[in-house]
Amino acid sequence: MQMNVYLHFTPLGPVLVNEEGQILASDMITQDKDPEKIARFMYELETGNVPERVLGFLASSLSKEYTLAVEDEEVARKISQSLKEVKVTVQPGSKVHRALREQQQAIVEKAFGISYSDYYRLVREATILLARWKVKEVAEKRDLYVAQAVNALDDVNKTINLFASRVREWYGLHFPELNDIVEDHEDYFKIVSKLGSRSNISLEKLKELGFKDDLAQKIVKAASNSMGAELTEFDLNAIRLLSDAGLQLYSIRRNLEKYIDEAMYDVAPNIRGLVGPTLGARLISLAGGLEKLARLPASTIQVLGAEKALFRALRFGARPPKHGVIFQHPYIHKSPKWQRGKIARALAGKLAIAARIDAFTGEYKADELREDLEKRIEEIKTLYAKPPAKQAKKEPAQKKFRGHGKRKGESK
Amino acid sequence: MIRPVKVVEHEKFPGIYVVEYEDGTKKLATVNLAPGVKVYDETLIQHGDKELRTWNPYRSKLAGAIHKGITINPIKPGVKVLYLGVASGTTPSHVSDIIGPKGVLFGVEFAPRVMREFIEKVAVHRENVVPLLADARFPTKYAHVVELVDVVYADIAQPFQAKYVADNADMFLKSGGYIMMAIKAMSIDVTATPSETYKREITHLEERGYKVKEVKHLEPYDEAHAFVVAQKP
Ligand SMILES: C[S@@+](CC[C@H](N)C(=O)[O-])C[C@H]1O[C@@H](n2cnc3c(N)ncnc32)[C@H](O)[C@@H]1O
């Protein structure tokens, strides 16, 4: 009769036991108790790649008369492919395997001479490492998808602006006063698409569309006193084609923003936590990918997106730019001008750290990073509360950031 | 804010507490194993030298089942638990509190995003938690890590969940150990009425040799959910 030998894997290495559960042989894959090596070993096992080392161990420990019982099918296949003379059976949850798992403590102590507490600590560290690796692996390459999405978002924003100007000019022939009353493009599109002709505009209908009372009143009043030309249904339909498309673009924009938000959570949670999903995605896009961003020095991240100005500075000796696309962050554009350079430098420094964590290790540290940054910004604000003497008089009114129509959401 | 006036240990279940408030309302709570760290929107209450975390039955099916009066709860200090479907860790964090420093929770989850949250919000702060990014349908893929456990807790909302739960219990559950399983009727099979789904899942466990001890419907804490406790002979 052939003897059965059971192959029991532990995170520290394989153990061979007989029917009675006696240890016949074992192999510890890392003598120096390195959690990274353990994680790599577990990864191999999970993916069905039995490491060479284990195959070698089996070849040297087994002679032909044994039947080898393992629990995982892929592992069995791999072993029988490499060790043709060994007979392998698959027995998940066999009595012996269950008994071994019950005695895990005794087994690791006997086979590897390691205390259970040391063993447990190592295993836990390794599983955390491994889970982080695998999460990252899944997110890999998605950085380029997110980069495309944020570029698409910019396209959509540009198109919205383009369509809005056209619709405002076009519909303005009929109702010129509306242009100044309704600033928000989406609101404007709504009036054109859903209500159409001036004569169809009423308080009730505006409220149904979600307009606030005082704004609605202003619109109704302007509509009844308008100096614009008459509009036929035939002409209106043509304007609506564009206005409807404008509304649709808004819906696309919202969906894209949602996609970017969710995808950034997987791709770069720390960058997202620090500066928000859209700006984070823009930085990834400008750098050409997450890893590339992670390899940039903070000083480059600070001016990403200001390449033209940088070029001008180098070429014509103009003043170098203090910030690129990170200017979009309220930390910077809401601060007085003379503080912006310093804040930009602090933000870029934290971004560089966040990018490295996202690209290489994957733990979540954004809240700490943000706290540090906010502390530093407070410092800057107290240290440089007043503008430098020379510029004090000419400090221009704070520039309001207006990118593309109304911007909601992104600020932190 | 309504202040807690009294904290007592749960009359049946060690490791679980009941907090009484000024207005007479009561809440379940567990002792925070990671003081100062919140996992979801629970409240932290200082009680002597311990910090308690309130445990919301509308957010956690195990708390719901306790409110609905299950009489068996094998999750107690010092036990080992294999938890399938940890998600971002709401219930698992309380399980980790209850089993305490001598227990171990092997936490399986296959969605990377929630796993990331689970790692950073739960696993790194709690030494009794071992996170496993893996598919509960293929238990041999984590058989090298998971030891024999006292409880297999399952909340994975998969069709034929009972089959996978039994597969896991066959490999990892001690004899005499318990399965605790939340069955979400709707997502398991939309065409069947809830009770049919419950029955099918329960029958499957019994056919696999597990003795079903308790079945509780979780309304009003959870719509169309049942909670099953079964024992391995
Ligand atoms: C209802 S949630 C669990 C909630 C959690 N038990 C709690 O109470 O806090 C179900 C989870 O199971 C996970 N899941 C579903 N199928 C799975 C599978 N085959 N393996 C591992 N996890 C799975 C889902 O990704 C989801 O996060």
> Mean of the pLDDT values across residues A125-148?
89
pLDDT at B138: 95
pLDDT-derived band of residue A399, with 50, 70 and 90 as boundaries? very low
Report chain A's mean pLDDT, rounded to a whole number.
89
What total number of domains does chain A contain? 3
Distance separating alpha carbons of residues A101 and B5, to the nearest angstrom? 45
Helix (H) or strand (E) holding B53: strand B50-55
Given a cut of 70, whether residue A393 has pLDDT beyond it is: no
Query: Is B133 close to A130, i.e. CB distance below 8 A?
Result: yes
Question: Both A10 and A33 in a single domain?
Answer: yes
Question: Both A91 and A116 in a single domain?
Answer: yes
- B68 or A141: whose pLDDT is higher? B68
Distance separating alpha carbons of residues B202 and A162, to the nearest angstrom? 61
**Residue A399 belongs to a domain:** no
What percent of chain A is predicted at pLDDT more than 70?
A: 93
pLDDT at A64: 64
> Which residue range(s) make up the domain with A221?
144-258
Confirm or deny that B158 is annotated as ligand binding: yes
Instruction: Report whether B231 contacts B90 (CB < 8 A).
Output: no
**Residue A396 belongs to a domain:** no
From the CA of B30, how far away is ligand 1's center (Å)? 22
Report chain B's mean pLDDT, rounded to a whole number.
92
**Residue A410 belongs to a domain:** no
Q: pLDDT tens, B53-107?
A: 999 999 999 999 999 999 999 999 999 999 999 999 999 999 999 999 999 999 9
Instruction: Report whether B98 contacts B76 (CB < 8 A).
Output: yes
Instruction: Report whether A246 contacts A163 (CB < 8 A).
Output: yes
Q: pLDDT tens, A212-268?
A: 999 999 999 999 999 999 999 999 999 999 999 999 999 999 999 999 998 998 889
Distance separating alpha carbons of residues B138 and A122, to the nearest angstrom? 24
pLDDT at A409: 41
**Residue A372 belongs to a domain:** yes
Helix (H) or strand (E) holding B83: strand B80-84
Find the CATH number of the domain harbouring A161. Answer: 1.10.287.4070
> What domains can be seen in chain B, in order of their start residue?
4-55 (3.30.200.20), 62-232 (3.40.50.150)
pLDDT-derived band of residue B190, with 50, 70 and 90 as boundaries? low
Helix, strand or coil for residue B51?
strand
Q: Using CB atoms and an 8 Å cut-off, which of residues 54-113 of chain B contact chain A?
A: 104, 112-113
Pair of tokens at residue B145: 């890590």
Distance separating alpha carbons of residues A304 and B12, to the nearest angstrom? 62
> Mean of the pLDDT values across residues A282-292?
94
Given a cut of 90, whether residue A140 has pLDDT beyond it is: no
Chain A residues in contact with B142 (beta carbon < 8 A)? 46
Angstrom CA distances, A307 to A66, A287, B52, B95, stand at 69, 12, 54, 53
Q: Buried b vs exposed e over A100-136: b needs ≥16 C-beta within 10 Å?
A: bbbbbeebbeebbebeeeebbebbbbbbbbbbbbbbb
**Residue A367 belongs to a domain:** yes
Beta strand pairing call for B225-231 and B173-184: antiparallel
Distance separating alpha carbons of residues A85 and A92, to the nearest angstrom? 22
Domain boundary among A109, A140, A171: A140
Query: Is A92 close to B124, i.e. CB distance below 8 A?
Result: no
pLDDT at A412: 36
pLDDT at A100: 93
pLDDT at A401: 43
Residue B233 burial (CB < 10 Å; 0-12/13-18/19+)?
A: exposed
Distance separating alpha carbons of residues A3 and A22, to the nearest angstrom? 13
Distance separating alpha carbons of residues A169 and A338, to the nearest angstrom? 39
Least confident of A97-111, A292-306, A388-402, B16-30: A388-402
Q: Which residues pair with B85 in a beta bridge?
A: none
Question: Both A284 and A169 in a single domain?
Answer: no
Given a cut of 50, whether residue B11 has pLDDT beyond it is: yes
What percent of chain B is predicted at pLDDT more than 90?
A: 79
Domain boundary among A99, A122, A140: A140
Q: pLDDT tens, A51-106?
A: 999 999 998 887 767 889 999 999 999 999 988 888 899 999 999 999 999 999 99
Distance separating alpha carbons of residues A8 and A15, to the nearest angstrom? 5
Q: Buried b vs exposed e over B127-159: b needs ≥16 C-beta within 10 Å?
A: ebbbbbbbbbbbbbbbbbbbbbbbbbbbbbbbe
pLDDT at B98: 98
Question: Both A284 and A254 in a single domain?
Answer: no
pLDDT at A25: 92
Helix spans in chain B (H): 61-67, 90-99, 112-121, 161-172, 185-188, 194-207
**Predicted model pTM:** 0.72
Q: Is the CB of B94 under 6 A from ligand 1?
A: no
**Residue A33 belongs to a domain:** yes
> Mean of the pLDDT values across residues A28-42?
92
Cβ neighbors of A203 (< 8 A, separation 6 or more) are: A216, A217, A220
The complex's ipTM works out to 0.92
pLDDT-derived band of residue B149, with 50, 70 and 90 as boundaries? very high
pLDDT-derived band of residue A405, with 50, 70 and 90 as boundaries? very low
Chain A residues in contact with B119 (beta carbon < 8 A)? 128, 131-132, 135, 363
**Partner residue facing A123 (CB), from B115, B145, B167:** B145
Find the CATH number of the domain harbouring A115. Answer: 3.30.420.220
Domain boundary among A108, A140, A172: A140
**Partner residue facing B171 (CB), from A93, A134, A265:** A93
**Residue A407 belongs to a domain:** no
Chain B residues in contact with A127 (beta carbon < 8 A)? 130-132, 145
pLDDT-derived band of residue B1, with 50, 70 and 90 as boundaries? low
From the CA of B84, how far away is ligand 1's center (Å)? 7
**Residue A41 belongs to a domain:** yes
On whether any CB of chain B is under 8 Å from the CB of A141, the answer is: no
- B153 or A333: whose pLDDT is higher? B153
> Mean of the pLDDT values across residues A283-303?
94
Question: Both A124 and A151 in a single domain?
Answer: no
Given a cut of 50, whether residue A152 has pLDDT beyond it is: yes
Distance separating alpha carbons of residues A409 and A393, to the nearest angstrom? 34
pLDDT-derived band of residue A404, with 50, 70 and 90 as boundaries? very low
Q: Is the CB of B40 under 6 A from ligand 1?
A: no
> Mean of the pLDDT values across residues A23-38?
91
> Mean of the pLDDT values across residues A373-398?
75
Number of H helices, E strands in chain B: 6, 12
- B123 or A19: whose pLDDT is higher? B123
Distance separating alpha carbons of residues B188 and B159, to the nearest angstrom? 4
Nearest to B172 by CA among A296, A265, A331, A94: A94
The angle formed by the CA atoms of residues B49, B50 and B52, to the nearest 5 degrees, is: 150
Nearest to A256 by CA among A152, A169, A326: A152
